[in-house]
A = this chain, B = another copy of it.
Amino acid sequence: IVVWDEEFFQGRRQEFTTECYDVRACGFQTLRSLKIESGAWAGFEHVGFQGQQFVLERGEYPRWEAWSGSHAYHMERMSSFRPIACANHRNSKMTIFEWENFLGRKGELSDDYPSLPAMGWGSSAVSSFHAHSGAWVCSQFPGYRGFQYILECDCHAGEYKHFREWGSHAQTSQVQSIRRIQQ
């Protein structure tokens, strides 16, 4: 990941090959543009991998608007980031549950789902997740829009029992699209 403190890849530039707990420790106030040259990364609003989450796959992100994809609040801040360990796409597997604590109706996923309702999931919410393999991103609205939450088989043993465990900025269990994260 290569980051800049100005939009459109201008200003102070630094390249990272591993996680950054706090960009201020590297002399940045915040990040305003970035390029992902290899792998998949998770960006976070706050230091210490807290707050709103941003999935960053290979490509160019010239402004905050390019990676946020959510209007719920507009902080223009990215303060920490880390790599995501992905599985091969064909091997990614996850179970979703209607209720908290892996209860209620369940669905087995091994593909990308821009609309869970269109795939027969009878609700606009998912209350718990078990990521068996790979890394996934679920989104509040259909078409991968709105708040994003990253789910990894390597974190929490892949178990997310309640929306408070998906990330510190989740306010509800509203989830209408889910896809695998691409290395």
Q: Which A residues are closer than 8 A to B by beta carbons?
A: 36, 40, 55-61, 65-72, 112-119, 124, 137, 140-146, 176-177, 179, 181-183
Number of copies: 2
Residue from the list B67, B181, B182 in contact with A141, Cβ < 8 A:
B67
Given the interface pairs A68-B71, A71-B71, A118-B183, the reply to whether A57 lies near B144 with Cβ below 8 Å is no
- Whether B112 lies near A36 (C-beta < 8 A) is no
A142-B70 CB under 8 A given contacts A112-B179, A179-B114: no
Contacts of A181 in B (CB 8 A): 114
Of B40, B56, B69, B115, the contact of A59 (CB 8 Å cutoff):
B115
**A114's contact among B57, B65, B115, by CB below 8 Å, is which?**
B57
Would A59 and B182 count as touching, CB distance under 8 A? no
